[in-house]
Amino acid sequence: MFDVKLPLEKETTSPFLDQALRSWTKLQKCPEETSVLLDGEGLDIPSVVAVARYHGRAATKLDGNIVERVNSSVKWLREYLAKGYDVYGVTTGFGGSADSRTLDFHGLQAALLQLTQTGILTESDFSPEKANYDTGFHSMPVTWVRATIVVRCNHLLRGHSGVRYEIIENLLKLLNLGMTPIVPLRGSISASGDLMPLAYIAGILEGNPDIKVHWDKDGQGTTTVISAPEALKVAKLDPIILGPKEGLGLLNGAAASAAVASLALYDTNQLVTLSQVIVGMSCEALLGNAENYHHFIAAIRPHSGQLEIARNIRHFVRGSSLLETSETKDRTRAGLFQDRYAIRGASQWLGPGLEDLLLSNKQINVELNSTQDNPVIDTESGEVYSGCNFQAASVTTATEKTRLALQMMGKMLFSVSTELINPDLNRGLPPNLTADDPNLSFTMKGVDINMAAYMSELAFLANPVSSHVQSAEMSNQPINSLALISSRYTMQAVETLSLMCAAHLYVVCQALDLRVLNVQFQDAMDEEMEKITRDICDQLTSEQLGFLLASLSKAARSSWSTSARENLQLRAQLLGNEVANPLMTFMQKYGSSSSQYPDRLSAIVEVKARVSAACEALYATMRTAAYLEPQTEKYLGDASKLLYQFVRRELQVPFHTGLAEHPTVEEGLKLNRERKTIGSWISIIYQAIRGGQVRTTLMQLADCFHHCRETKVVE
């Protein structure tokens, strides 16, 4: 026999959750600050998000050393060229054409922009108010472009690129005025950086009249499209003639890839936390066992991700009245003895992805503060080095790990959602989580189909991009990272998982309302059966009464659970029939014990009839009350309660009452609220997730967990 010594859970840090909380907290403070200050070294993901999505301003730190560092590389390069030395991309052609030579420094940089401004845009990209009939947009979202500008400016501030400080200032001024060029979505292989997208950003600086610009005058997202020369005029800037290497310095980096990856990872961090809470809520709705996430299980297979997921979910469900624990579980129950795979294996399934995401976040943060350029200038040693720092494979691997983690989360949510909706699996909830009669109402059936569609798309997106590299540019680029493509697909995966989270959150709130209604009804039905039994079987001893009531309760609960597919009237009849069996067995042993009905059969028939009638009336009354004001919150764990309140109170997404909710059906029950399609209610949740509204709730639960760990071990 092995003597396994488990470590006590003294180490209660949750690295990923802590990182997410720090990120959310910083973002919350960013809009309050004057601007995000750039120095080439301290940019992080929440700062990129603040500038990209929340109209945060960006500026360089007021540090003369930064200006000197940037401009000294320009000065040094000019001195180097004055000696007659060649420099790639300054006196030579580009890529496979690097065997050519020229001394037309300015013309060569203009030629670089010409050869890279080759992306495809359509009329709808310049007139987004027009209806989208077929082609859709071929341009990047404004947020992606804003993020790209701030990332590239931070790269250039490192002083290795030979780009004047004035150029960085001009880019930031345009950014802070709400001006972003319209950049083609496709066409970058992220080999020599994201040449094509960055060429359109550089095009605004040279005043290219064929480059169009979104101008968000008031920071409210309503843009006017103007030309680059008009944008410069409004900003009171002169067009810039790019000096030696300045075009290459602006273009030769994977800033767009790192920027879009930053946005995707920020969203992923939110979805990871949200998914864990949803799993906890689902475990409650399924009357699961909290020991699925017991420290012992994780400690004897101590992967850091599994340990954290188990610890987090244990905390999230703390205080729940719906879950079993090691202390309260029925150790001799019939039927399914343990929870099914999806709920039971959540920490093992999600844990590895958590570990990958920590590395992905680290890789992207490094990229945000790196020199992604070629050639690079080392003013201290007096040398120009040619290399491949523009090669963005680190971004690709970071985003591919992220997509795989998103797919794992999606598969978890899909599996659990299906379990909640399917009456064969959901432990007594009605089919399709229908609150009214399931023979004429199919509430969540369509959502189940939607989830399958979302999951299929998410699974496809999880496929690697890096295995599809094509040799490009005169075969000079036989290995290229495809980082921007990977980042774009990761954003699509984020969007798809957000749809799944919204749908599942709607499903699980419905399931919890129905579960609590069931729990309350069964308790109330026990009381009704006791009244009926006392009234009819009025000659029982206390011991006999207790024994009989326990038998009746067990039969009634079993019947109620197994008859969930039926309408209320039939369920009530079946329940009455079911309680007749233990009553008959009891009377055969003890007699009728009734002064009113000495005939056993008459007593049984009366109990059966009265129990059926009481059941139907009681459930109808309690269901109507739950429609108007569910009593769910007091049964939930700490985190589940916060998220449930967010949906039901803050977003005002109600308990779905069934067919009467449909806007074109004559309303029977007066709900005193607007009736919507199911999709419209889920859309409200989705917008709250994508818009960041849910972040405040997630911060509350993460912060609560943080303080809890400071005071005691999470058990």
Active site residues: 88
Q: Which two tokens stand for residue 652?
A: 């005002």
Q: What are phi and psi of 298, to 5 degrees?
A: -70, -35
Phi and psi torsions of 239, nearest 5° = -60, 145
Distance between CA atoms of residues 410 and 430, nearest Å: 24
| Amino acid sitting at position 428 | G
- How many other C-beta atoms lie within 10 A of the C-beta of residue 378? 14
Chain CA centroid to CA 210, Å: 38
CB 604 within 8 A of CB 580: yes
Residue with tokens 């580009």: 94
What does the angle CA 547 – CA 553 – CA 554 come to, to the nearest 5 degrees? Answer: 95
**Helix (H) and strand (E) counts for the chain?**
24, 7
Buried b (16+ CB within 10 A) or exposed e, 503-528: bbbbbbbbbbbbbbbbbbbbebbeeb
The DSSP result for 175-243, as a single string, is HHTTEEE--BSS---SBSBSHHHHHHHHHHHTT-TT-EEEEESSSSS-EEEEEHHHHHHHHT-------
Kindly give the residue spans of alpha helices, DSSP state H, lying in 537-650. Answer: 542-562, 568-590, 600-628, 638-645
Angle between helices 255-285 and 346-368 (to 10 degrees): 160
From residue 72, alpha-carbon distances to 78, 109, 159, 373 in Å are 10, 20, 8, 17
Q: Give the residue ranges of DSSP H helices in 422-469.
A: 445-461
DSSP code, position 666: P
DSSP 207: T
Amino acid (one-letter) located at 196: M
Angle at 136 between CA 133 and CA 140, to 5 degrees: 160
Q: What are phi and psi of 577, to 5 degrees?
A: -60, -40
Q: Is 44 left (phi over 0), alpha (psi -120 to 50) or beta?
A: beta
CA angle in degrees (0–180, nearest 5) for 503-361-188? 85
CA dist 244 and 78 (Å) reads 8
Distance (Å, whole) CA 413 – CA 408: 9
Burial of 50 (0-12, 13-18, 19+ CB in 10 A): buried
Nearest to 341 by CA among 333, 349, 351: 349
Alpha-carbon span 419 to 417, nearest angstrom: 5
**Locate tokens 């949510």: which residue?**
413
How crowded is residue 699: how many other Cβ atoms within 10 Å of its Cβ? 17
Q: Which residues of 352-367 are buried (b: 16+ CB within 10 A; e: fewer)?
A: bbbbbbbebbebbbeb
Put residue 287 in one of left, alpha, beta given phi > 0 → left and psi -120 to 50 → alpha. Answer: left
Beta bridge partners of 187: none
Q: Cα-flanking dihedrals φ and ψ of residue 216, to 5°?
A: -95, 95
- Cα–Cα distance between 181 and 228 in angstroms, integer? 8
Give the alpha-carbon dihedral of 228, 234, 238, 239, to 10 degrees. 0
From first CA to last CA, the distance across the chain in angstroms is: 27
d(CA 131, CA 285): 43
